[in-house]
Structure 1
Amino acid sequence: MAAAEEVVKDVERAIEETPVGEKREREEEAEIMAPWEQHASVISIPRFDYTAPSSLLHHSHSGFLVTCSIKREKSATKEVMSILGKVLLPLGEILKSSDESKRPKLCAQETEVTGENLNAEDLKPAKESVNEEHKSLMSLVKLTKSGLLLFTFPVDNSTDTTDIVSRVFQFMESGALKAPVWCHRIFPVQATCALTEKELQETVSKLVQRFVDDKQNTLSTPVKFAAGYNRRGVEEAKGKIQKASEVLDQCPLLDRTKCFETVAAGVKAIVPDSVVDLKSPELCVMVELLPLSRIPNGSYVAAVSVLPHRLVSTKPKLAIKPLVPETKQKK
């Protein structure tokens, strides 16, 4: 009896000593998680696909680049998986099931963190399932920058990521989706390319042509466009690895002016009479430098999209719209 009482006291003491911040974080996560995520013994999160960076160097991929709170990447990953699941899957309610065997997996390499050690025989069915579903699932790509998540579709996947992000905003406006806690923005990646003048210009031209051909997009004459460029992680590289001049020698398009000139050339190759309009552009060319892990020094990959005005904000700079309006965030 005395030993049992000591155990109880130790547990009570541990609970009392738990930092308030950790308690609050767990409570906040419990509020936004579906029941299957709140299950005490099983928390499913996707694992990094370490083959993805190499594929991005040689092939174009579509996907999603998510900005989130720093040091809350795991919480944001679960949150964005829930958001995309409800938008992508016609039977989104199945995500609320506590039966793991019935819950759809959006990422190919999804792992279950449990208190048990699985043996090789237990893992065989999971591996076979992953191989069968890999072509239709997203990969989680490891990045070197905090506060960012990158999900990519396979090379031959033609998923309309822009339409998916549009539906996310529609779901939120209708109340079908709650405002996210950890995810700030979801950037729809239409294509990726090496950050070279030739590849970037060709990619921009291809996406602008697709935008112009889409009958849902109404364009005036002359067509008004704007360009945005994010170089997350480059500043850190300049300071820690080498001088800025050396970095620019390796990749001239890291220079904002040179990048914008290349983007403009890509746009005008398709729409010669287009003009720059930063206040009310009809099409917005967004270029995001991807801080990929495990790629050779001097190699740079960019995510590129051509978006309608409704999905972007122009102040204080051109960017994908935040999931939660900044006025609400401040409140």
Structure 2
Amino acid sequence: MRSFLKNKLFILGFFILFGLAACDRRNSDDFLKIGSEWFSANEFFSQTPRYTFQYLTENQQDVKIENFINRQLLVYYAIDNNYQRLPDVRKRFRLLERRLLIKEYFDRMVLDSVITKQRLLSEYESLDPYKKDLFTYNDYKSVLKGKLIRRFSEDIRVRYTNAVESLKLSSKFKPYQSNIDSLSKLFMSKLIAARYDSVSREPVNILKTISFNQPLYQINDNKVFLSKFIGLLSDFPLVSREERFSDPESLLKIIETVAINSYVYNQAKRLNLDKNDDFQQRLLFQKHNILYETVFSRKITGTISINDDTLRKFYAVHRDSLYMTKQRYDVQEIYITDKTKAENILNRALNNEDFQTLADT
């Protein structure tokens, strides 16, 4: 009887130890544990700079793992301290999600038709056998995809252009050119008035000061007015100089881009592309990047103060190694209506002619 109880206790103890071990790990793919979270090898390599057909030495692997751990610790610090609730971070999250979802839609619509699995596999099979022995197809996939994108760049560009034209038709996009011309003129007037105010010169800020009640375009039989366009422009920001808004042709292209981006985003949401596991993983990784950058800038670089005394000491030590540059000037605009005259003044300015003399011309 005593022997039976001993055996029973031994078996029970074994299962308890096994259960604790099982609770400590999620599955056999677990690769690295940080805090209470396990990362698989695929998750680790997807969140660190990829090797490009190069074997990593043991030291390089250690550095890579250490950098990854340090990054994740800062991300966890940000989450624990609710950095994700900061207004600027929430705004970046929102813009990020829109940008990635639009890219996901176009990738499926265009890129996947060019960079097919068959082409990827063929590219992998053409590799040197030594490289294939080091890493698998999945390891090389992102690198192979980049090579194929460069190889078929012209075909991809044409397909993207055709896709946008197709989307214009399916969305019933219709710009009101005369209204766009009028808005560009009003924008130019406001731009000239705000020429000395860098904050007011921001395109969105200038548009907000304009009273304009005519529709700019129509999409899906719905007319879009300036107030709505400003909101969409904030959701789909463009890297664009304010001068482009004062040119009717450039303004039309901006309106087309914003309108189609908005349409594509709504289509992607209807198709639940944002629910895809791969998309969610990419989105989470990019969000973690934002959190990492925010913590790094606030807690590390933000605490570094460089005063005039520090700069003078640095200059005194390194003055002989500092290279000299030509004198540079900050200039204001010269507005000219005659194209020939404008080109002539531009050429004279490029030849270092006095700016005030040109302005008085």
| Both proteins in one fold, TM over 0.5 | no
What TM-score does the superposition give when structure 2 sets the normalisation length?
0.24
Whose radius of gyration is greater, 1 or 2? 2
Where is the helix percentage greater, Structure 1 or Structure 2? Answer: 2
